[in-house]
C-alpha cells in the first residue's frame, strides 16, 4: 500500500487536532490493535532537525478506536504557539513485530498567529 498524500494546516497558537481513519486500498477500515504510530515534521526532507514529533508513546497520537482504525493527532495551543515554521511530514504505523508502514505524507503548513 502506498502512502497517501495529505497536507495539514496548523494555526499557530491554536489547539491542533486531526482524526485519521486508516483504511486499506479497498476502503476497508484497518484494525489497529497492537499498533503504534509516529509522525515527524522537518523543514525539508533532508533536514536533520525535527520541528515536531508526535507518537503514541509521547501522547501526540492516540489510537481512539483500534477496531475502527481511528487515531487522533494532537498538539496543544502552547505547542503550536512555539512553532515558527512548517515543513514536510510523514505518519508511520508500526506493528508489534516492528515492521513500519508509511500511511501519509505531505506538507505541514503553519498559519502564523496575529493575536498574541
CATH number for 82: 2.60.40.10
Q: Name the pLDDT band for 2 (thresholds 50, 70, 90).
A: confident
Confidence of residue 116 (pLDDT cuts 50, 70, 90): confident
Q: Give every strand in the sheet of 61-65, ordered side by side.
A: 16-21, 70-75, 61-65
Evaluate whether residue 92 is within a structural domain.
Answer: yes
This prediction has a pTM of 0.93
Count of structural domains, the chain: 1
Does residue 59 lie in a domain region? yes
Q: What pLDDT does residue 115 have?
A: 87
Residue 81 inside a domain? The answer is yes
DSSP code of residue 45? T
- Whether residue 98 lies inside any domain: the answer is yes
Query: How far, in Å, CA of 79 to CA of 76, rounded?
Result: 5
Phi, psi at 91, each rounded to 5°: -120, 125
Task: Tell me the per-residue pLDDT of 57-114, one tens digit each, with 9 for 90 and over.
Answer: 999 999 999 999 999 999 999 999 999 999 999 999 999 999 999 999 999 999 999 9
Classify residue 116: in a domain, yes or no.
no
Structural domain containing residue 10: 4-111
Amino acid at each position: 500500500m502506498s502512502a497517501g498524500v495529505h497536507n495539514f494546516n496548523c494555526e499557530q497558537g491554536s489547539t491542533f487536532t486531526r482524526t485519521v481513519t486508516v483504511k486499506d486500498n479497498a476502503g476497508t477500515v484497518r484494525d489497529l490493535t497492537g499498533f503504534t504510530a509516529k509522525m515527524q515534521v522537518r523543514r525539508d526532507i533532508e533536514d536533520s532537525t525535527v520541528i515536531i514529533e508526535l507518537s503514541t508513546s509521547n501522547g501526540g497520537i492516540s489510537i481512539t478506536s483500534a477496531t475502527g482504525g481511528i487515531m487522533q493527532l494532537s498538539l496543544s495551543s502552547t505547542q503550536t504557539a512555539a512553532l515558527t515554521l512548517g515543513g514536510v511530514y510523514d505518519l508511520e504505523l508500526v506493528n508489534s513485530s516492528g515492521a513500519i508502514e508509511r500511511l501519509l505524507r505531505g506538507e505541514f503548513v503553519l498559519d502564523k498567529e496575529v493575536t498574541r
